[in-house]
């Protein structure tokens, strides 16, 4: 049938007709439709993972601005750091702790590195799923642009 895709759930093996394409394979997908980083967390968009826990995923930025440029996201969707801080400060702390763990794994924790959470339009946040950038491996200028 034209324009109708078919997906099979892994939970009960019921095959459902689904109109168009979905960002996720499973109707029980808990991410936000059309969110790039939810799709990466679900494994539907490929990314190069650096570290991974039940709650947090770190993967390499597709357009690196330094020798190490890794993004850390909570698997659960929050639009930005302000929303995550308000809803679940413990999870925000885990994102920051994982950012430091990435710096250790990447071998840049001794020399120094930067953690950036662009939040909102004036900070030029381009992906509305909260993420921390870890940048390092070269001297980093200040102030930022
Ligand atoms: P923001 O500007 O929102 O703080 O940062 C978004 C980051 O996501 C950018 O550094 C951008 O290069 C990165 N990015 C955008 N699309 C993709 C993608 O499909 N895969 C990966 N790994 N990174 C992406
Ligand atoms: Zn999301």
Per-residue pLDDT band at 5 (split at 50, 70, 90): very low
Catalytic, 131? Answer yes
Which ligand 1 atom sits closest to the C-alpha of 59?
22
Using a 6 Å CB cutoff, which residues line ligand 1?
Answer: 36, 47, 59-63, 71, 118, 124-127
Least trusted range by pLDDT, from 4-18, 30-44, 61-75, 84-98? 4-18
* CATH code, domain carrying 57: 3.30.428.10
What ligand has the least distance to the C-alpha of 37?
Answer: 2
Domain count, the chain: 2
Structure pTM?
0.84
Q: Are both 102 and 41 inside the same structural domain?
A: yes
Question: What residue owns the CA closest to ligand 1's atom 13?
Answer: 61
Give ∠ CA 33-37-40 in degrees, rounded to 5.
95
């Amino acid at each position: 049938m034209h324009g109708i895709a078919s997906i099979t759930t892994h939970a009960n093996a019921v095959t459902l007709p689904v109109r168009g394409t979905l960002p996720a394979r499973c109707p029980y997908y808990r991410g936000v439709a059309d969110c790039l980083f939810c799709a990466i967390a679900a494994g539907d968009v490929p990314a190069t993972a650096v570290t991974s826990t039940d709650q947090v995923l770190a993967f390499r930025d597709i357009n690196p601005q330094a020798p190490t440029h890794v993004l850390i996201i909570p698997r659960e969707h929050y639009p930005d750091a302000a929303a995550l801080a308000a809803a679940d400060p413990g999870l925000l702390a885990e994102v920051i702790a994982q950012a430091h763990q990435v710096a250790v794994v990447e071998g840049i924790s001794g020399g120094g590195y930067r953690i950036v959470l662009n939040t909102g339009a004036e900070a030029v946040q381009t992906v509305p799923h909260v993420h921390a950038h870890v940048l390092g491996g070269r001297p980093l200028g200040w102030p930022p642009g």
